[in-house]
Amino acid sequence: EENGHQNKRLKRNADEEDAEDQNKKSPKRKIVLLMAYSGKGYHGMQRNVGSSQFKTIEDDLVSALVQSGCIPENHGEDMKKMSFQRCARTDKGVSAAGQIVSLKVRLIDDILEKINNHLPSHIRILGLKRVTGGFNSKNKCDARTYSYMLPTFAFAHKDHDVQEEVYRLDKETLEKVNKLLACYKGTHNFHNFTSQKGPRDPSAKRYIMEMYCGEPFVRDSIEFAVIKVKGQSFMMHQIRKMIGLVIAIVKGYAAESILERSWGEEKVDVPKAPGLGLVLERVHFEKYNRRFGNDGLHEPLEWTEEEEKIAVFKEQYIYPTIINTERDEKSMANWLNTLSIHDFNSSAVGMQTNNKNSKNSSDLEGSDGCDDDSD
């Protein structure tokens, strides 16, 4: 019996030594991955363990991490074991050019190539950096930049008969759009731009650093423009509603005064622009970079060397998806037809009926999923 115990102990010691040798060869380290993906056909970024019905970006990512040997299989089933955290929860159909996830992995040779070999071509890991052991990509992120690509006929006045492919945005209209978008800068109460937040909820106050619409350009005979918005954090639907309200004003459905009114305590009917076109462009870690970026051990979380790869990915996978889906499914054109249903002068009581009527037409797109509060 004593010999049996001794043999078991020796075997256990040998197994532990083997595991230790293996870990010495590829120790686990805290890293961040720079991700780009086209979100079409996915139910957002965040994985729902145990629910195979709705495929997410993280399902494919975790599968690739396991298959490449970066993480053990049980870490894929329980993501807390690898301290996994995504920077932003992009939702159904939303793409990303600069998503960041933090996690602990085995630093195997040719790690990026091996992970990408197990990913579909519309999801790419473009960069990797070592970070501090306590790093959390969501909590350490101090700002996020999103873009929203839309056909410019969205800004045509409602009283004008518009041929979508012929429409071109004039200078005066673009100036008006930018004047309205600039009103969002600063801290405002955005309770009307999300769901399930009351006017006195402190978390409804958000800080917007910049918001503007760039010069228009033509793709496949349709003119598009890109709106950029940088903010500390965004609530679910917030960006799409911010853009939706500006479109409603420019088209002549709502008065400019509705912007000021929407930040007050009154409930205001704010339309939600389609999810197609929304892209997580980049996430910012200014405080982390100041503290650790030049400490001699860690690199700053800047991705200048990867900029070209990001641009190529957008041209290959993100922009064509937005353009082709807009052309085939007419998501913006169909949504614009629902603006007349909204009552921009109504109170909360009058709104409830309108919301029920417009739900079928405008809620199918899914949310923009920037809800940093409920992650």
Q: Quote the CA–CA distance of 307 and 221 in Å, as a whole number.
A: 27
Determine if residue 146 is labeled as part of a ligand binding site.
yes
d(CA 141, CA 134): 13
Residues 38, 93 contacting (CB under 8 angstroms): no
* Length of the chain counted residue by residue: 375
Phi/psi of residue 298, nearest 5 degrees: -120, 150
CA–CA dist 62, 115 (Å, integer)? 10
Phi, psi of 142 (to 5 degrees): -105, 0
Nearest to 175 by CA among 214, 204, 221: 214
d(CA 125, CA 127): 6
Would you say 173 and 249 are in contact if contact means Cβ atoms under 8 Å apart?
Answer: no
Q: For residues 33 and 91, give the distance between their C-alpha atoms in angstroms, rounded to a whole number.
A: 19
List all residues 6 or more positions away from 275 whose beta carbon is below 8 Å from its beta carbon.
91, 92, 93, 94, 240, 365, 366, 367, 368
Active-site annotation holds for 375? no
Active-site annotation holder among 15, 18, 59, 91? 91
Distance separating alpha carbons of residues 285 and 290, to the nearest angstrom:
9
Listed residue (117, 32, 29, 113) closest to 71, CA to CA = 29
Our CA angle for 94, 137, 40, nearest 5°, is 15
Contacts of 297 (CB under 8 A, 6+ apart): none
User: How far is 191 from 242, CA to CA, in rounded Å?
Assistant: 11
Supply the DSSP string of 293-322, one letter for each residue. TTSSSS--S--GGGHHHHHHHIIIIIHHHH
Looking at this protein, which amino acid is placed at residue 119? L
8 A C-beta contact, residue 244 and residue 250: no
Residues flagged as binding site: 146
Q: Which residues are catalytic?
A: 91
Residues flagged as binding site for substrate: 146
